[in-house]
Structure 1
Amino acid sequence: MEKLLLIGINTRSMIESGLKLNYTIYSTSYFSTSDVPSIENQKIILDESINPDCGVFEDKFSSKNILNVSKDYLDEVDYIIPISGISPNDFEKKHQKKILGNKDISKVEDKYRFYKEIRNEFLTPETFYVNDVDEAVEIQKNNPEVQYIAKPLKGSGGYNTNLLNNQSQLQLNCDEKLIVQEYIEGINLSSSVLGSENEAENIVNSRLLTQHDFEKNSQFKYVGNILPLTEKSILAPVKNTDAINREMADTSEKLIGKFELIGSNGVDFILNKNGLYVIEINPRIQGTFECVQQALGINMLEAHIKACQNEIISIDKAKYYSYKKIIYSPKTVKYEKIDLNNLYDMPHLGSITQKDEPLLTIIDKDKDFDKLYEKVESSSQTVNKLVNNS
């Protein structure tokens, strides 16, 4: 049986899907969750049995560390699928050859390079490359009528993305390479696309959720998704969702073809009265993974692998709505069991999650959108209440 390594920040959902396929599954992940399947070949960076405090992700996570820990796996396995947190460009060439997915993502991973590649073809926010925070602030001063955001040149999940008001409000690592981008106020959307050597096919669109959607603050961390995209799930007074879906499908397929991407990819947009802005491409399996599986009734890992092998599987329309919501801890908390049936990525009992770090994930599905939304939001309120009262 061929050996497949899943490697990234959190491999729990991919392991569950991988165990249903004809591979021997290997895994290296940063996070350790209490619900991750136990497999023979598994390495986890965080070990709560040694230190129950999970710390601050941005301070402790290192893709180089995960690759270093995985050295023997990288040599042993037949195939590798990097997940969020690991770039194919981080691997040595001998290991890059084993990747099922995009092997060179430099044109889309570098957000300024991506902007230059698409600015003459697609609606996209004006973007500047800057050498430091001072230069970012100077751009804002010279264009007071425009609101900007500052974000890392590379990265995902909305980490270290901030509204650019003044230097004191920037929470950025000075060693990080930055871009300053025109801030587009609107509705965050995402398109899931399968790409092969010969074609690209949009399989579903979703409402992408950030902290800004819920708290109306200047934080843009990824919180989750709702799919498929309809007049209800868009969570805004927008009536022409069929036309929006068609435009998203057409644009995302063109982009995946333009950059010759294969496997599962995501294209993020912002919609407002001026149109549909292209924000970025995520050239890997996305955070919508389990929502897509629930709504479409497919094994998303299998769909990704087959697309990489030049086969786009047949996919029917969504049979369910699916909603994923990441709960960031409202305070530093020692985890105690919470009895809800739609919780995933739960910490180990007694482990400590710092304030504003990811605590757990709520994922649910239903054919009725209103019932689904009520279930997920009710679970969200229950979790936050229990944590705040602990």
Structure 2
Amino acid sequence: MKNPEKRENMQNILAIGFDTRNIVCSASRAGYAVCSIDAFRDLDLQKCAYASALLECRTSSELHQLDPRWIIAQMNAFGLDFDAIVPGSGMEMLDPGSFPCPVLASCPDAVKEASNKLHLAKKLEALGMPHPHCYSPEELDDIEYPVILKPASGGGGIFNRVAKNRQELLSALEELSRLDPEFAEKEVVIQEFLEGIPSSVSLLSTNNQALAIAVNEQLIGAPWLSRLPFAYCGNVTPFKTAHAEEMEALAEELVLELGLLGSNGVDFLATEKGPVVLEVNPRFQGSLDTIEMSTKINLFEAHIGCFRGELPEKPEAKLFAARGVLYSDRELFIDRKLMNVILKEKSADIPSMGTVTEPDWPLTSLFACASTRDEAILSLERGAERIKTFIANQTKEGRKPLNPAGKA
């Protein structure tokens, strides 16, 4: 546990969510004493946090059912008088009436409307914004293929499935129901499948103003990072595209229409015909790191300012910053040798020694900064290859350092 740095009007912050590392480290850099409750409790999170606790939840339904009294008990155990709670992924709809301090996030009703892809589609239709056509379960006979199936809320891309015909659609629905009983047809969005470059706009917003601070390229299903075809694998900031200004204008209008506050993101597909709105992330996004590296803004401080009605000056990208989320292709026991290989890279989201990473779960994040996009991506690819080669060689040699049985 660290002693919080003394500063005038210092605030004590709780960050809670499925993965809070980037929030915690940004808040720490801004001088806040920040505690964390999340599902990973990564090594670098622990170094940045005043204190941290493990959130033993693995699904969105478990997160939504989390008892506020348990959270308050954890807050009391940290031994700080908290000035605010900042929710991360999975905890966006935290009820502010359940806690003794403010929750610095959009109101739960606004978050619910923005997060649900079916509700959002109706909103985009009303606003006349370009978006993929969504089919209801009652329209199965009218579908024009191909389509993509997504959970109505959240998911990170790992549950997305493409169907090229009715049989593939029915098979995908059956598979999703096996993976999670919550994926009944009413909880799945069937969406027109479009080709384009996945991208996003990150914004800051107050009650009456919105500011687009970065346009980002998204790395989705990158085969050198993950076996999952639609998994979020990181991003590059900035995304240089002729559609950038149009995307920023659409995103600013949309977050104001939805009544969102603080740091939020809008996902786009940059198609040949122009940008198409895909979804809204009413919370801090995975692009936080690369935005801060590229523009030198502190996003946590800017987020806090939004709740005082303040927006910063629009930042400028000074270089290309890239993040690659490397997924494990097998169950891995994190021993000292593997930890050292990860630490040699410019990495974050570093798993603690002695923990186990499940197959197709994030292992670590790699970072690169360069004067061009291609240089930054090449640096990520080389780092990912070094880690994957080490894991493959250890497995071939039969030393078994990557599973609990080989620990001895």
Tell me whether the two structures share a fold, i.e. TM-score over 0.5: yes
* Amino acid in structure 2 at the alignment position of 1:15: V
d(CA) in 1 for partners of 2:269 and 2:372?
26
- Aligned residue among 365, 369, 374 for 2:373: 369
Shift of 1:4: 1.3
d(CA) in 2 for partners of 1:381 and 1:66?
42
* Amino acid in structure 2 at the alignment position of 1:162: R
Measured at CA, do residues 126 and 68 of structure 1 come closer, stay the same or move farther in structure 2, by a change above 3 Å? farther
Q: C-alpha offsets along residues 294-318 of structure 1, whole Å, 9 cap, x if unaligned?
A: 0000111001111222111124311
- Aligned residue among 375, 381, 387 for 2:385: 381
Shift of 1:15: 1.7
Which aligned pairs between 1:276-291 and structure 2 lie closer than 5 A? 276-291=275-290
Equivalent in the alignment of 1:249: 248
Equivalent in the alignment of 2:302: 303
Is 1:208 the equivalent of 2:218? yes
Question: What is the alpha-carbon root mean square deviation over aligned residues?
Answer: 2.6
Deviates more, 1:162-171 or 1:326-335: 162-171
Q: C-alpha offsets along residues 1-59 of structure 1, whole Å, 9 cap, x if unaligned?
A: 4321111112222222212335332211111212223444421236xxxxxxxxx9459
Equivalent in the alignment of 1:123: 130
Q: Is the 8 A contact 1:129 1:179 kept in 2?
A: yes
Equivalent in the alignment of 1:108: 114
* Amino acid in structure 2 at the alignment position of 1:168: S
Is 1:333 the equivalent of 2:332? yes
d(CA) in 2 for partners of 1:376 and 1:78?
38
d(CA) in 2 for partners of 1:384 and 1:125?
36
- Aligned residue among 339, 347, 350 for 1:346: 350
d(CA) in 1 for partners of 2:101 and 2:259?
17
Measured at CA, do residues 195 and 60 of structure 1 come closer, stay the same or move farther in structure 2, by a change above 3 Å? closer
Equivalent in the alignment of 2:22: 13
Equivalent in the alignment of 1:168: 171
Shift of 1:73: 4.9
Measured at CA, do residues 168 and 372 of structure 1 come closer, stay the same or move farther in structure 2, by a change above 3 Å? same
Shift of 1:380: 1.1
Shift of 1:210: 1.1
Match of 2:313, SS state, is coil
With structure 1 as the length reference, what TM-score do the two structures score?
Answer: 0.84
Shift of 1:346: 1.7
Q: Is the 8 A contact 1:151 1:160 kept in 2?
A: yes
Q: C-alpha offsets along residues 247-306 of structure 1, whole Å, 9 cap, x if unaligned?
A: 111111111121121111100011222321111111111000111110000111001111
Match of 1:265, SS state, is strand
Q: Is the 8 A contact 2:148 2:161 kept in 1?
A: yes
Which aligned pairs between 1:1-390 and structure 2 lie closer than 5 A? 1-38=10-47, 39-45=49-55, 57-58=58-59, 62-65=63-66, 67=68, 69-73=70-74, 77-88=82-93, 90-91=94-95, 93-95=97-99, 98-104=102-108, 105-120=111-126, 121-130=128-137, 139=140, 142-143=142-143, 145-164=144-163, 165-170=168-173, 171-172=175-176, 173-176=180-183, 177-211=187-221, 219-230=229-240, 241=241, 243-335=242-334, 336-337=338-339, 338=341, 339-390=343-394
Shift of 1:341: 2.9
| Percent identical | 25
Measured at CA, do residues 79 and 118 of structure 1 come closer, stay the same or move farther in structure 2, by a change above 3 Å? same
Measured at CA, do residues 349 and 73 of structure 1 come closer, stay the same or move farther in structure 2, by a change above 3 Å? closer
Match of 1:119, SS state, is helix
* Amino acid in structure 1 at the alignment position of 2:256: G
Equivalent in the alignment of 2:406: none
Q: Is the 8 A contact 2:225 2:384 kept in 1?
A: no
Q: Is the 8 A contact 1:203 1:315 kept in 2?
A: yes
User: Which is richer in helix?
Assistant: 2
Match of 1:306, SS state, is helix
Shift of 1:91: 2.5
Comparing both chains, which one has the higher relative contact order based on Cα–Cα distances under 8 Å and sequence gaps of 6 or more? 1
Match of 2:309, SS state, is coil
* Amino acid in structure 2 at the alignment position of 1:259: L
d(CA) in 2 for partners of 1:213 and 1:314?
37
With structure 2 as the length reference, what TM-score do the two structures score?
Answer: 0.81
Q: Is the 8 A contact 1:29 1:66 kept in 2?
A: no
Q: C-alpha offsets along residues 163-183 of structure 1, whole Å, 9 cap, x if unaligned?
A: 132433443123232221111
* Amino acid in structure 2 at the alignment position of 1:71: I
* Amino acid in structure 2 at the alignment position of 1:124: H
Q: C-alpha offsets along residues 325-382 of structure 1, whole Å, 9 cap, x if unaligned?
A: 1111122222222152311112222322121111111122123433322211100111
Q: Is the 8 A contact 1:329 1:387 kept in 2?
A: no
Q: C-alpha offsets along residues 111-166 of structure 1, whole Å, 9 cap, x if unaligned?
A: 11111111141111111343xxxx6xx72x543x4211111111141131111324
